[in-house]
Structure 1
Amino acid sequence: MTSVYDSERLAAGYAFDRPPVHRHLLASASLPARPAVRALDIGCGAGVSTAALIPLAEHVVGLEPIPAMLAHRHTVAPTARFALGAAERLPFAAASFDLVAAAGSLDYTDLPAALAEVARVLTPDGLFLVYDFAKGRHSPTNDALAAWYQSFEHHFPSSPGRRPRLPLTGTGLHLLNHTDVEIPLPMTLDDYLRYVLSEVSVHSAIARGAGTLDDIRAWCRSTLTEVFGDEELVVLFPGYVTTLVPS
């Protein structure tokens, strides 16, 4: 079955139009002061999450199962290396990485198999960061954004998100800590427009013939103008970081 992410348009949107939330989430994790030697980003998508790991490790590798998503990898994370592969069969030797991260990618895996593979490639004192963020639906200074997003999701419904339950028994990993965070990001109308147009729900609407990209962009811009006007808004992105370590 073809994945919805096998798309040049989504690859570009994820590379250039998504909010810079990853680095803020990683900053909330409890990490050693000394950078990791080797870090692995599982399910790296367009490479934005991989780029966020670069300040945290001497060598960074992004792993992605869908080739189309890697089209802009050298622009997004020019100093990282990338490989094609699945989380359930990591193409790396045992104890290869002292930092592994997965940014919202575990939902798409056979979770017990993926966690066992992470335990295999982690060094004995390594860390595994599982993190993700929800959609930017709210502003602390403007209630109109929440109403707008409700209308947007009515027009372009998305699959319900879920935080993966981590079945740790028998995986060789155990929970170190968990942190819920909320990232406030100032965004202009154009910033927010690019973000919402990069959503999978918009891509799916176009694919099923519910509208063209130009039609959807025009509707979003005209209705968002009433929310943003000529000002920046602070948009809240709720997220979490879970830290696991080898048992």
Structure 2
Amino acid sequence: MIVVFWVSFIVALVGSALLITQKHAVYALLGLLIAFGASAGVFLSLDAPFIAVSQILIYAGALAVMFLFVLMFTDTRTDEDTGLPGAVGSRAVFDPATGRPAKKKKKKKADEEAKPSPFSGLVMPKPMAVAVSLALLVCFTAAIVTLPSGFNRFGPLPSAYDGINFEGVERSADQIKSDPNLLPFGSTEAVSRTIFEGFPLAFEVVSLLIFAAVLGAVLLARRHLVGIPGTQDVAKESGHA
């Protein structure tokens, strides 16, 4: 399992690097898929098969496909990428000498400053981004270093728990294997019992947050539809106006 862990770890790093370095959105999405699949391999090597399968089904299957549909319905190409004229039937966009579409003139700086990007406020300066990344690396490293000694063992499940203190009692691998109350780590039953018996309130709060996010997306979409011809009639017919 240690070989699977290191191979998956390296592949996940490569996929993450492709995600943040590729300018083309489709190539970045492929890097995201590689990172998701490799993360599932990491979970599988850590004896967490349920989380590994969930990683494939939810993240690599559902979220990545959703991103792909968004890219399919969003045209991110410019006129230079397509090679088509900016306005069909207009002579001004053609160069008489070459017979090809003329290159558009660059916008003035004043025009660019007058129309700032809606995401300009979300861009973090590079020094701050490096500082935040280093701080996260230090936090993750500290969390790994402070883990109990039994968590850094690779091998079959019973031997991974051997010597760990359970409720103040030292138990060997044979005692753990024969105890029916101890569920296999990472199994579906263990994860479900931990969530629904130990953290039922937190689970319900997360579901409410997801529901609120869906409602917010619907409200934002309806706000952008205001003033578009035909949308008011559709809203009246559906009874939501």
Higher strand share: 1
> The TM-score by the shorter chain falls in which range?
under 0.3
- Which structure has the larger Rg over C-alpha atoms? 2
**TM-score when normalising by structure 2:** 0.19
Q: Which has the higher contact order (CA 8 A, sep 6+)?
A: 1
